[in-house]
Chains A and B, each alone.
Chain A
Amino acid sequence: MNTPHPPRWAKALLRWLHPDNTIEEVEGDLDELYAYAYLHAGKTQALLRYLLNVASVLPPFVRRRRTYSKYEPSFSLSPDMLKNYFKIAWRNIVRQKAYAALNIAGLSIGMACSILILLWVQNELSYDRFHSKADQIFRLTCSAGDFRAAVSAAGMAPNLQAALPQIKSGVRISKRIPMIFEAGEKKLEEKRVIYADSNFLTFFSFPLLAGNKATALHDPGTILITEEMAVKYFGTSNAVGKTIRIDNKENFTVDGVLANTPPNSHLQFDCLIPMKTLARTSTDLQNNTWNNFIFFTYLELDAQTAASAPARQNLIRQIFSIFKAHGQVIKLNFELQALTDIHLHSNYQLDVAGHGNIQYVNIFFVIAIFILVVACINFMNLATARSERRAKEVGLRKVVGANRYQLIFQFLGESLIFSFLSLVIAIGIVFAMLPIFKMLTEKSLSIHLLDGKLLLSLIGIAVLTGLLSGSYPALFLSGFAPVKVLKGKLRVAGGNLIFRNALVVTQFVVAIVLLVGTAVVYKQLDFIKKRNLGFDKSNMLYLPMNGDLWGKQQALKLSLEQNPLTANFTIISYLPTAVESGSVDVVWDGQTIANQVVFPSLDVDENFIGVFKTKVLAGRGFDKSFAGDSSSYMINEKAMQIMGMNIGNAVGKSLSLGGMKGTIIGVIKDFHFKSLQYAMEPLILRKNTWGGVVMVRTTAGRNEQTIKALEKINQELNPSFPFRFGFLDKDLDNLYRSEQQMGNIFNLFAGLAIFISCLGLYGLSAFMAEQRTKEIGVRKVLGATVAGVVGLLSQDFLKLILVAIVIASPIAWYAMNKWLQGFAYQTTLEWWVIALAAIAATGIALFTISFQSIKAALMNPVTSLRSE
Chain B
Amino acid sequence: MRRTYLGEFEELVLLMIAILEGDAYGVTVCQEIEQQTGRIVTFGAVHNTLIRLEEKGFVTSGLGGATNERGGRRKRLFQLTTLGKTALTDIQELRNKLWKLIPDASLKLSGI
Contacts and interface: CB of A to CB of B under 8 A. Distances in A.
B58 interface: no
B43 A24 contact: no
A53 B74 contact: no
A91 interface: no
B85 interface: no
Interface string B44-85: 110110011011000000010000011101111000000000
A14 to B, nearest CB: 11
A36 B27 contact: yes
Interface in A268-299: none
Contacts of A26: 26, 43, 47
B106 interface: no
Contact of B43 (A29, A63, A65, A66): A29
B65 to A, nearest CB: 12
Given A57-B44, A62-B47, A63-B51, A31 B75 contact: no
A68 to B, nearest CB: 11
Contacts of A53: 42-44
A31 B71 contact: yes
Given A25-B75, A25-B76, A57-B43, A31 B51 contact: no
Contact of B74 (A24, A32, A49): A24
Nearest to B29: A29
Q: Is the interface of A mostly helix, strand, loop or mixed?
A: helix
B44 A28 contact: no
A63 B69 CA distance: 26
A52 interface: yes
Contact of B70 (A28, A52, A57): A28
A62 B74 contact: no
Nearest to B63: A25
Given A25-B76, A28-B75, A56-B44, A33 B63 contact: no
A814 interface: no
Contacts of A29: 25-27, 43, 47, 75
A580 B55 CA distance: 87
A51 B80 CA distance: 30
B75 to A, nearest CB: 6
A66 B55 contact: yes
A9 interface: no
A802 interface: no
Given A25-B26, A29-B25, A33-B30, A63 B47 contact: yes
Contacts of A24: 63, 73-74
A28 B45 contact: no
A798 interface: no
A61 B44 contact: yes
A32 B30 CA distance: 11
A30 B43 contact: yes
Interface in B64-112: 69-71, 73-76
A64 B55 CA distance: 11
A33 B27 contact: yes
Nearest to B26: A29
Contacts of B71: 28, 31
Contact of A65 (B27, B30, B51): B51
B51 A56 contact: no
A32 B47 contact: no
A17 to B, nearest CB: 12
B32 to A, nearest CB: 12
Interface string A15-38: 000000010111111111100100
Most buried by B among A28, A33, A52, A55: A28
Which of the four size classes fits the interface of chain A? 20 to 34
Contacts of A25: 25-26, 63, 73-76
B51 A32 contact: no
B54 to A, nearest CB: 8
A62 B43 contact: no
A26 B74 CA distance: 9
A61 B74 contact: no
A49 B41 CA distance: 10
Contacts of A49: 40
A485 B100 CA distance: 65
A62 B27 contact: no
A30 B44 CA distance: 10
Contacts of B45: 56
Given A28-B70, A29-B26, A29-B75, A36 B31 contact: yes
Given A25-B63, A28-B70, A63 B52 contact: yes
A31 B70 contact: yes
Contact of B27 (A22, A32, A55, A66): A32
Nearest to B25: A29
Interface in B9-54: 25-27, 30-31, 40, 42-45, 47-48, 51-52, 54
A39 B71 CA distance: 18
Interface string A617-637: 000000000000000000000
Contacts of B73: 24-25, 27-28, 31
Interface string A135-172: 00000000000000000000000000000000000000
A11 B63 CA distance: 21
A111 B42 CA distance: 57
Contacts of A33: 26-27, 30, 43
B74 to A, nearest CB: 6
A57 B49 CA distance: 12
A149 B75 CA distance: 84
B72 to A, nearest CB: 9
Interface string A475-511: 0000000000000000000000000000000000000
A202 B44 CA distance: 77
Contacts of B76: 22, 25
A24 to B, nearest CB: 5
B27 to A, nearest CB: 5
Nearest to B52: A63
Contacts of B52: 63
A1 to B, nearest CB: 12
Contacts of A57: 43-44, 47
B31 A52 contact: no
Central interface residue in B40, B54, B73, by most chain A CB within 10 Å: B73
A107 B73 CA distance: 49
Contacts of B70: 28, 31-32
A65 B71 CA distance: 23
Nearest to A57: B44
Among A61, A63, A64, the most chain B Cβ lie within 10 Å of the Cβ of A63
Contacts of B74: 24-25, 28
A33 B47 CA distance: 13
Contacts of B63: 24-25
Given A32-B69, A36-B31, 18 more contacts: A22-B76, A24-B63, A24-B74, A25-B75, A25-B76, A26-B43, A28-B70, A28-B73, A29-B43, A29-B47, A29-B75, A32-B70, A36-B27, A53-B42, A57-B43, A61-B44, A62-B47, A63-B48
Instruction: Name the 6 nearest CB pairs between A and B, nearest first.
Output: A56-B44, A28-B73, A29-B26, A53-B43, A28-B70, A56-B42
21 contacts: A22-B51, A24-B73, A24-B74, A25-B25, A25-B74, A25-B75, A26-B26, A28-B71, A28-B74, A29-B25, A29-B75, A31-B71, A31-B73, A32-B27, A33-B43, A49-B40, A53-B43, A56-B45, A63-B52, A64-B51, A65-B51
Interface of A: 22, 24-33, 36, 49, 52-53, 55-57, 61-66
